[in-house]
Each structure stands twice: as C-alpha cells, then as structure tokens.
Amino acid sequence: MITTQTFLSVFFLSLLFSSSFAAPPSSDSVHESFVQCFSDKTKSPQTQITQNVFSQTNPSFSSVLRAYIRNARFNTSSTLKPTIIITPRSESHVSAAVICAKPLNFVFKIRSGGHDYDGLSYISDKPFFILDMSNLRDVNINIADQSAWISAGATLGEVYYNIWEKSKVHGFPAGVCPTVGVGGHLSGGGYGNMVRKYGLSVDYVEDAKIVDVNGRILDRKAMGEDLFWAICGGGGASFGVVLGYKVKLVPVPETVTVFRVEQYMDSGAVDMVYKWQSVGPKTDPNLFMRMLIQPVTRKKVKTVRASVVAQFLGRANDVVSLLAKEFPELGLKKGDCTEMTWLQSALWWDNHVNATMTDPKVFLDRELDTASFGKRKSDYVASEIPRDGIESLFKKMIELGKIGLVFNPYGGKMAEVAEDATPFPHRKKLFKIQYSVNWKESSAEIEKGFLNQAKVLYSFMTGFVSKNPRNAYLNYRDVDIGVNDHGAKSYEEGEEYGRKYFGDNFDRLVKIKTAVDPDNFFRNEQSIPTLPSKA
C-alpha cells in the first residue's frame, strides 16, 4: 500500500526533477478533487454535496466531528483533525466515498457509533478522512418473520425502541448502552444482559451488506461465506464498510426481573465475589448477574464496594428462590427485585431509576457531543480466582483509588457455541473483565495518573487471567496491547494484538483480509493485517 508519506516523497522528487518548486497538495485541492469525484459518482450537483462532505473550513466541521466523540481524551486542540468528513445518506454515497478516497492515499476511518474507547475510528497520526455512518440509521422490523434490517449508523436504543413499537414479546441480545452504534457493536461481536440465554449479537445475524474496496455493494450471497463470517465478530472496518445487518429477533417474556445488591469489604463482599465466580457463569441461563467492583470511601474509610446488577428473564419469586439455594452469600430478598417489561429493563440498565415511568422515547436521544475522559481494558478468566486473590485484588484497588472492574459472566448459551463459529473465540471462558476509569478534569498530569492506574491493575491481574495469549475483547479497544504502523512489519504487529482479540481465528481473518483487500486500504491502528508478501 502506498502511504501518504510515500506519495508525498514521490511528489517532491518529481518537483526536483522538473526544477520548479511548488507547495504539496493543499487540503483545499484534496477536498476539491474528492468533491468532483463524489459529484460524478453520485450524479449530484456539487452544491448539494456540502451537506455530505465537510472540509476543515466548513462551519459545521467541528460539530460533525465532535458529535460522536465519546472519549474527551481525543477531543483536544492538539488532536490531528481529519482532512475531510463524509456523512453519507445512501448506500451509493458510501460506494462513491470509497472509490473517490482510494486514489488520494489518505487513511480512511469508518465511524458508526463513536463508542470507540481508544478513538481508532476518528483519530490518526497520519492525514485521514472520516466516513461517519450516523445518517444511515434505518431500523426495519418484520414481526411476521421475526427479523430486522438495521443500518450500521443506527443506535442500540433506536433498535430497542423500534422493536418495542411492534412487539412487547420480542427483543434482541445486544448491549446495555443505548447510544452505541450498531455497525461497530455487531461487527465486533456484541453482547449484553441476555448473553447467557442467547449468546452474542452476531449469533443472530442472517445477512449483511458491505461496500468492498472496489466500491461494490455486496450482500451475504455476493460477498461469500468467508467475508460474511469475518464481519460477524472480526471487526468490519478491516474488510470494507458495513452498511447494515439483518438479524433474527429473540422471544422475551412479558415480565422480567431486575435487581441490584451491594456489599462492602467489611460486610461480606469478598465472600460474595468469590462465590459469584461459581454461580454467575453456571446458574440458570435466564439469569445474568454482572458484578461491579469499585473502590469507594465510606464513613471516611477507603473500602471496596461489590455490586451485583442483574436481570432474570422471569418472575421475582423464581429468582429469589433460585438464589436462596445457589447463592445465599448474596442475601437477595423479594424487596430487592423489581418486575417490569423487557424494554423497561433496558431503560433500567441505562440508569433510569424509575424505568417503569420513563418514556421509551429517551432511547431516540443520541446524546451528541457528550464526551468524558476515560480508559477501558479487558481480560478473560478461565478458572476461578482464589479467595485470597480476591482479597489481594481489593487491597490493590484501594491502594490505586479510582479504577473499577466489571465482571460479565458467560456460560449458558455462550459455552454451547463453537469457538470458530464466529471470529469471537472466548466462548468457553467463565467471565470477562472490563477495567474502567473515568475522570472529568482536562489535564495531562491527571490523565497520566489514571492511565497508569489501569496499567498497574492490569499487570497485577496477570496471574489470574487467560494466558498464551492473554485474551482481550475487540469492542473494548485498547492500544496498550499493540498497534500497527502498517509498514514492513505489519503482519508481526498485527499478530501481537490480533491473537489476543481472536485467538486461532486470527489466521482465517488474515487470509480473508488478504483476499478481499490485498492493498490494505481499510486499515486502522488495530486492523487485521494482510499476509506478508513472499517477494
């Protein structure tokens, strides 16, 4: 692949040989040639294109860029800005964007929802374009065949709202945060609070549409089963631009139960977390019990709070009697439980305390330009952490002071699906860990301290988590585990993070990438590399 740098070097050499010195192509001339090409390909007058193609001088440029930046770390004046942002409103716009961007040799970033924890869909250290998919947000529900076609720029909140409008007994197994974009969520696997009952979001994908490197619009039949497999968990942005997915809806009961139970370090939290490991991943698949572990100050003393946040696809009486037997350390009482509809439970998970009184239309609010500072990392646990390990973990978290952990249990349906059924290989693990730290102050020193907390706790957990490779979840982007400069060592660099995200499935993903995008046009700092050439 010719990089922008190489292109400019050749450009300057030609200038030297012609012995006349001129400036390299300006962003204005790049914008001009892109707009001319885009106008030709879409057969739209250039005056219309200003609504879809934004140069840095466009008055709307900044608001379009900031709308889907969720991590304020990447929203500073010193962050390199894209030369052009394209906001397509049709499939043909996406096709034209790919065709017109390719000859210009800019890095081409694809952004669907912006919940990209390390910003790889909207930042770069090389000149780049952003293709922002947020206008492509159709959600077409077909209750007759229990399916939905969902465009890549739709949010999970919009999906849940549209399902609810058509049916009160259907749902979709995906994430608990309603502002996440479907394109990134599904292409990276996608999971939520029905993961133990139904598995991953991608386990329900029946068809998809993608724009390939040649600008062709392909459905599952046209793209073939290899590429279809790759974009159902292997990350869409390595292979093309995913336009949307057709998914199968799942049945949900008319009544579900949610509860939250908290314990502190001096009142049973260690025992609760230790026991959770043998119950959370093995209990009734209708029950999902997320564990939050956070350092807090209580009565002026630093301690750790462990919270079980849970959903049961059924009635409160049933889950209370189930956990009285399986998990007495939790101490769940009927009064801790609230029965509600499935959609109301989605509102509850999104921290709407009075979920039964909340208007579901809040799920249509995209909460634009609402970034806070943060960092996420991930791990997988294959065998239970011993009780003294939990105690030492609590002490370490108190010492660090801010970073929290989220344990997400697997088991149930997850453990029944083959590890190579999709690119997501972590099916047999007991649970996943998310490392989570947020802050509000804009300061390099403060940021360095919090990022260091994440690294220290991650290092501390080494002996308790998966090994060879130490696994990670693609949708919790983490540049600490490796980045790719796409130079001579692209394959080796890609293997570094690729094995952590995909295990043995990495090899198949590389072969597919090499076949469908041999020149590596679709690339980012953690994309799938092509096979090294045998030259």
Tokens read off for 422: 């999709």
Q: Provide the whole-model pTM.
A: 0.94
Judge contact between 434 and 476, C-beta under 8 A: yes
pLDDT of residue 1: 43
pLDDT band at residue 533 using 50, 70 and 90 as cut-offs: confident
For 364, half-sphere exposure in the C-beta direction (CA atoms, 13 angstrom radius) is 10
pLDDT band at residue 14 using 50, 70 and 90 as cut-offs: very low
pLDDT of residue 77: 87
Instruction: Give the tens place of pLDDT for each residue, 397-442.
Output: 999 999 999 999 999 999 999 999 999 999 999 999 999 999 998 8
How is the chain split into domains, by residue range? 28-132, 139-251, 256-338+372-461
**Averaged pLDDT, 510-521:** 98
Angstrom distance (rounded) from CA 432 to CA 436: 13
pLDDT of residue 210 exceeding 70, the answer is yes
Three-class secondary structure assignment of 449-489: HHHHHHHHHHHHHHHHCCCCCCCCCCCCCCHHHCCCCCCCC
pLDDT of residue 5 exceeding 60, the answer is no
pLDDT of residue 141: 98
Radius of gyration of the chain (CA): 24
Instruction: Give the tens place of pLDDT for each residue, 228-260.
Output: 999 999 999 999 999 999 999 999 999 999 999
Q: Give me the residue label for tokens 């909340």.
A: 358
Angstrom distance (rounded) from CA 217 to CA 4: 27
The SS3 of residue 181 is strand
- Which of the 8 DSSP states describes residue 45? -
Angstrom distance (rounded) from CA 287 to CA 322: 10
pLDDT band at residue 505 using 50, 70 and 90 as cut-offs: very high
Lowest mean pLDDT among 65-79, 193-207, 488-502: 65-79
Judge contact between 186 and 209, C-beta under 8 A: no
Tokens read off for 152: 């890549």
Instruction: Give the tens place of pLDDT for each residue, 285-338.
Output: 999 999 999 999 999 999 999 999 999 999 999 999 999 999 999 999 999 999
Determine if the peptide bond prior to 469 is cis (ω within 30°): yes
pLDDT of residue 59: 95
Tokens read off for 264: 């502190």
Q: Which CATH number fits domain 139-251: 3.40.50.261, 3.20.20.140, 2.60.40.2470, 3.30.465.10?
A: 3.30.465.10
pLDDT of residue 15 exceeding 70, the answer is no
pLDDT band at residue 24 using 50, 70 and 90 as cut-offs: very low
pLDDT of residue 535: 53
Q: Which of 487, 120, 504 is nearest to 495 (CA)?
A: 504
Judge contact between 363 and 175, C-beta under 8 A: no
Phi, psi of 364 (to 5 degrees): -90, -5
CATH code assigned to 256-338+372-461? 3.40.462.20
CA dihedral 27→29→34→36, nearest 10 degrees, is: 150
Q: Is 463 exposed, middle or buried (0-12, 13-18, 19+ CB in 10 A)?
A: exposed
pLDDT of residue 274 exceeding 60, the answer is yes
CA dihedral 196→200→205→210, nearest 10 degrees, is: 170
Q: Which of 344, 417, 366 is nearest to 195 (CA)?
A: 417
CA dihedral 482→485→490→496, nearest 10 degrees, is: 0
CATH code assigned to 28-132? 3.30.43.10
pLDDT band at residue 346 using 50, 70 and 90 as cut-offs: very high
pLDDT above 90 covers what percent of the chain?
A: 89
pLDDT of residue 353: 83
pLDDT of residue 442: 87
pLDDT band at residue 25 using 50, 70 and 90 as cut-offs: low
pLDDT of residue 16 exceeding 80, the answer is no
Tokens read off for 89: 């409103």
Give, in order, the Cα–Cα distances in Å from 255 to each of 171, 344, 392: 13, 10, 40
Q: Give me the residue label for tokens 């929203």.
A: 75
**Averaged pLDDT, 502-509:** 98
- Which of the 8 DSSP states describes residue 106? -
**Averaged pLDDT, 109-124:** 92
Query: What mean pLDDT value characterizes the chain?
Result: 93
**Averaged pLDDT, 509-526:** 98
pLDDT above 70 covers what percent of the chain?
A: 95
Catalytic residue among 68, 476, 497, 501: 476
**Averaged pLDDT, 507-513:** 98
Q: Give me the residue label for tokens 């279809």.
A: 228
Angstrom distance (rounded) from CA 173 to CA 187: 14
Q: Is 476 a catalytic residue?
A: yes
Q: Which of 105, 125, 57, 118 is nearest to 85 (CA)?
A: 57
The SS3 of residue 123 is coil
Give DSSP secondary structure letters for 262-315.
EEEGGGTHHHHHHHHHHHTTTS-TTEEEEEEEEEEEETTEEEEEEEEEEEESS-
pLDDT of residue 490 exceeding 60, the answer is yes
Lowest mean pLDDT among 25-39, 88-102, 507-521: 25-39
CA dihedral 434→154→235→78, nearest 10 degrees, is: -70
Instruction: Give the tens place of pLDDT for each residue, 160-188.
Output: 999 999 999 999 999 999 999 999 999 99
pLDDT of residue 12 exceeding 50, the answer is no
pLDDT of residue 11 exceeding 50, the answer is no
